């Protein structure tokens, strides 16, 4: 039998869940556009909640940024898993994942800044998600290597370095810094090694 306390608590929990989701959505918009220097006050204002409510859900700015970054890494994981299950040729699946993940990062200033090293401490805290992504990426690479679609010495760490380089291109708004061309060159570079012509 429900008590008066139970009846009052359920709407409060529902309100808290709605506030949590609204804060995350608005924080995603603010930080994706402005990067790690965006202010928590702006997030609260856009979400239509008080600063106290914001800090009850995320006690520090780092906690909020970490949750936003975790969401992005989970998208990377889903993209990689979907490619593995897609039935595409291994080389095409590998390329599709890098393109899809680059498109995600291109719209997110926080993700770009973290991957170029400005938020390295946040990345270090995503232990479980990073391990899962590395495991799936290794499987994707192994399939592509067995198919002869990528070079035999490619590793998940190399893919991480490729993404860091892409983010550098994304953070520069200047002639010659076209991340899509950068990605195309990188993908060509990790293709199967060609035998060298005799001198």
Report the C-alpha gap between 77 and 70 in whole angstroms.
10
Do 135 and 40 fall into the same domain?
Answer: no
Last residue of a domain, which of 41, 59, 77?
Answer: 59
Do 99 and 187 fall into the same domain?
Answer: yes
pLDDT digits (tens, 9 = 90+) for 93-118: 999 999 999 999 998 888 888 887 76
Please indicate, yes or no, if residue 198 is contained in any of the structural domains.
no
Beta carbons of 105 and 165 less than 8 angstroms apart: no
In this prediction, what percent of the chain has a pLDDT beyond 70? 88
Do 147 and 160 fall into the same domain?
Answer: yes
Look at residues 72, 77, 69 and name the one whose alpha carbon lies nearest to residue 137.
77
Query: pLDDT tier at 8 (50, 70, 90 boundaries)?
Result: very low
Please indicate, yes or no, if residue 136 is contained in any of the structural domains.
yes
Report the C-alpha gap between 100 and 79 in whole angstroms.
7
User: In this predicted structure, which of 9-23, 120-134, 156-170 has the lowest mean pLDDT?
Assistant: 9-23
Please indicate, yes or no, if residue 167 is contained in any of the structural domains.
yes
What is the total count of domains within the chain?
A: 2
In this prediction, what percent of the chain has a pLDDT beyond 90? 57
Please indicate, yes or no, if residue 199 is contained in any of the structural domains.
no
Please indicate, yes or no, if residue 115 is contained in any of the structural domains.
yes
Do 39 and 120 fall into the same domain?
Answer: no
Do 76 and 125 fall into the same domain?
Answer: yes
Do 23 and 12 fall into the same domain?
Answer: yes
Look at residues 146, 159, 152, 162 and name the one whose alpha carbon lies nearest to residue 90.
146
Do 95 and 147 fall into the same domain?
Answer: yes
Last residue of a domain, which of 21, 43, 59?
Answer: 59
Do 53 and 66 fall into the same domain?
Answer: no
Please indicate, yes or no, if residue 197 is contained in any of the structural domains.
no
Q: What is the CATH number of the domain that holds 102?
A: 1.10.357.10
Do 94 and 120 fall into the same domain?
Answer: yes
Do 92 and 174 fall into the same domain?
Answer: yes
Q: What is the CATH number of the domain that holds 4?
A: 1.10.10.60
Higher pLDDT, 5 or 37: 37
Last residue of a domain, which of 59, 77, 102?
Answer: 59
pLDDT digits (tens, 9 = 90+) for 154-195: 999 999 889 988 988 888 776 777 899 999 999 999 988 665
pLDDT digits (tens, 9 = 90+) for 138-164: 999 999 999 999 999 999 999 988 998
Q: At what angle do helices 179-189 and 156-170 cross, to 10 degrees?
A: 160
Domain enclosing residue 143, as ranges = 62-192
Please indicate, yes or no, if residue 73 is contained in any of the structural domains.
yes
């Amino acid at each position: 039998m429900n008590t008066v306390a139970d009846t009052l608590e359920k709407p409060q929990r529902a309100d808290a869940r709605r506030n949590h989701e609204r804060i995350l959505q608005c924080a995603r918009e603010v930080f994706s556009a402005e990067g790690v220097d965006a202010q928590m006050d702006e997030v609260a204002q856009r979400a239509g909640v008080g600063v106290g409510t914001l800090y009850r859900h995320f006690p520090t700015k780092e906690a909020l940024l970490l949750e936003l970054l975790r969401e992005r890494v989970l998208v990377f994981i889903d993209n990689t898993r979907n490619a593995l299950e897609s039935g595409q040729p291994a080389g095409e699946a590998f390329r599709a994942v890098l393109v899809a993940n680059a498109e995600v990062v291109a719209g997110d200033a926080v993700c770009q800044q973290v991957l170029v090293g400005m938020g390295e401490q946040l990345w270090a805290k995503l232990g479980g998600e990073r391990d899962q992504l590395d495991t799936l990426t290794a499987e994707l690479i192994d399939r592509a290597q067995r198919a002869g679609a990528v070079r035999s010495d490619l590793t998940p760490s190399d893919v991480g370095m490729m993404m860091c380089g892409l983010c550098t291109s994304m953070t520069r708004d200047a002639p010659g810094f076209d991340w899509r061309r950068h990605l195309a060159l990188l993908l060509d570079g990790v293709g199967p090694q060609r035998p060298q012509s005799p001198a």
